[in-house]
Structure 1
Amino acid sequence: MISSTTSPPASSADVDLIEELRLRRWARENYVPPQQRDPNWHPIILEEMRRKDDEVNEPILVT
């Protein structure tokens, strides 16, 4: 389980592009299943983890 000390701060709603990219990268590197996510994490982190959920659930086309 991820401790809150390793997650990025969730205090600011306004983030610049660099901060947004940093949060998205953190979300991908520290991905956890939906049941283990802290609802207090920054909305960008939660959104990026949901995107990764969708990627995992997409069917793979073989040609």
Structure 2
Amino acid sequence: MDTAVMIESELDPIEEIRLRTWARQNYLPRELRDNSWHPIILEEMLRKEKEQNHASQ
């Protein structure tokens, strides 16, 4: 099983929302991110990038 999937399944929904909100409020470009951050945070920052790229097209 993928590590990110295992970690996601262990989170309760409130904690996941908290992590995703933190990621959006504290967004950093990819080169400034710490790869040791929680996978949900990294995933949400990637989502935000994709949304920004889509909106600018």
Task: Assess same fold via TM > 0.5.
Answer: yes
Q: Pairwise CA RMSD of aligned residues?
A: 1.4
- The alignment's TM-score, normalised by the length of structure 2, stands at 0.79
Evaluate the alpha carbon distance shift between residue 37 and residue 60 of structure 1 in structure 2; reply closer, same or farther with a 3 A threshold. Answer: closer
Structure 1 partner of 2:20: 24
Give the fraction of aligned pairs with identical amino acids, expressed as a percent.
57
What runs of 5+ residues in structure 1 fail to find an aligned partner? 1-12
What runs of 5+ residues in structure 2 fail to find an aligned partner? 1-6
Paired residues in the alignment total: 49
When Rg is computed on C-alpha atoms for both structures, the one with the higher figure is 1
Counterparts of residues 1-63 of structure 1 (less than 5 Å): 13=7, 14-59=10-55
Would you tell me which structure has more helix in proportion to its own residues?
2
- The alignment's TM-score, normalised by the length of structure 1, stands at 0.72
